[in-house]
Amino acid sequence: MLYAIIDIGSSTVRMAVYNINYGKIEMLMKKKHTLGLAAYVKDGKLQQSGIDKLCNILNEFRDFLNDFRIENVSAFTTAAVRNAKNSSAVIDELQSRTHIPVRIITGDEEAEFDFIGVMREISAKTGIIIDAGGASTEVIYYKNSAIEKKTSIPLGALLLHTKYVEDFLPSSDEISDMQKETIAALLPLKDFTGIKITNICGIGGTAKSMRLLYNNIFTLPDANACMEVKNFDEIINRYTRDQQMTQEHIVTLLKTAPDRLQTIIPGIVLINTVCHHFGADHFIYSDTGMREGFIYDQIINKNKL
């Protein structure tokens, strides 16, 4: 069965088409637009200009799906719309203008789907998973292959950039402000007090771009997924606005993170701070996550595919 998943994130809007048969999924293709929806939130409301751009993208996806007779479609959105004061009105407008039903995923659901997707990929029975998005970060602590604690903090790479960074790359002071904000969001998580873990698993677009940048800087194979936390400060310092950057450094960033030039360093600051908070030595990227978890939980299991 052909099935399309549309993921309206705070930084990107993605559509992936899967072939689902006998409980197995195969991604056939994907399309992505870097919209930066979280940047269109003003005074807590998603602005009309952002809604209009999102509708244009969804209508493009709808036309593609119609051309290829793909009728099974699930569309969902996360923090950028979820946290907006006008979220209900936004969903109604998307439905009326695109004829694509869009579901708002709660922070708890996002964490659940993250966990389901990742656990089909990794072997570690105990650990922490983080999904650093554009406007929220999901943190899941699991033990014996079951969720022990989960939360969603209202911080993400795009949100931090929009709030603190005046240019493409952050200054030293702006990095310090982002670190303080992240620590302030983590400290009240009493359920997570005292948890220390050696390896943290990261998923999502920020973690993916971070891996590409890390592997390029430290001359590692593209397929390498394990990063040493002690090296993150070097990457952040290399791309601090008030530090001297070489042409080689600039070329590396432009090659590896062209779609995330404004958000990659805020994202690394956030991830680095989370890793230090939990005492992690390694950050391990997983290519499966919420979309795959959504498919297994909401499509395969519910429809007995």
Read off the pLDDT of residues 14-58 as tens digits, 9 standing for 90 and up.
999 999 998 899 999 999 999 999 999 999 999 999 999 999 999
- The whole-number average pLDDT for the span 253-264 is 95
**Buried-state track 88-107, b at ≥16 Cβ within 10 A, e below 16:** eebbebbeeebebebebbeb
Name the residue among 205, 297, 296 with its Cα closest to residue 257: 205
* DSSP code string of 220-279: --TT--EEEGGGHHHHHHHT-TTS---HHHHHHHHHH-GGGTTTHHHHHHHHHHHHHHTT
109-118 pLDDT, tens digit each:
999 999 999 9
Provide the mean pLDDT of the chain: 95
| Cα-based angle 67, 294, 72 (whole degrees, multiple of 5) | 25
Q: How confident is the model at residue 301 (pLDDT cuts 50, 70, 90)?
A: confident
State mean pLDDT over 265-294: 96
In terms of Cα–Cα distance, which of 176, 139, 161, 235 is closest to 11?
Answer: 161
Helix, strand, or coil (residue 165)? coil
121 vs 186: CA distance, rounded Å: 27
**Which residues are 227's β-sheet partners?**
283
pLDDT at 102 over 90: yes
- Give me the percent of the chain exceeding a pLDDT of 70: 99
Instruction: Find the largest Cα–Cα distance for the chain.
Output: 57
Q: Return the DSSP state at 82.
A: H
Question: Phi/psi zone of residue 218: left (φ > 0), alpha (ψ -120 to 50 degrees), beta?
Answer: alpha
Q: Is the pLDDT of residue 279 over 70?
A: yes
> Which 8-state DSSP code applies to residue 299?
I
User: What is the structure's pLDDT at 305?
Assistant: 64
Q: Among all chains, which residue has been given the structure tokens 């870097």? A: 34
Query: Measured between alpha carbons, how far is 50 from 52 in angstroms, rounded to an integer?
Result: 5
Q: What is the mean pLDDT of residues 133-161?
A: 96
**Distance from the first to the final alpha carbon of the chain:** 9
**Interval 222-245: pLDDT, tens:** 999 999 999 999 999 999 999 889
Q: What's the confidence (pLDDT) of residue 121?
A: 86
Please give the domain boundaries of the chain with CATH numbers for all domains: 2-107+290-303 (3.30.420.40), 122-285 (3.30.420.150)
Percent of the chain with pLDDT over 90: 93
| Pairing of β 199-203 and β 127-132 | parallel
pLDDT computed for residue 180 by the predictor: 98
Task: Give tens-digit pLDDT for 155-205.
Answer: 999 999 999 999 999 999 999 999 999 999 999 999 999 999 999 999 999
φ, ψ dihedrals at 149, nearest 5°: -145, 145
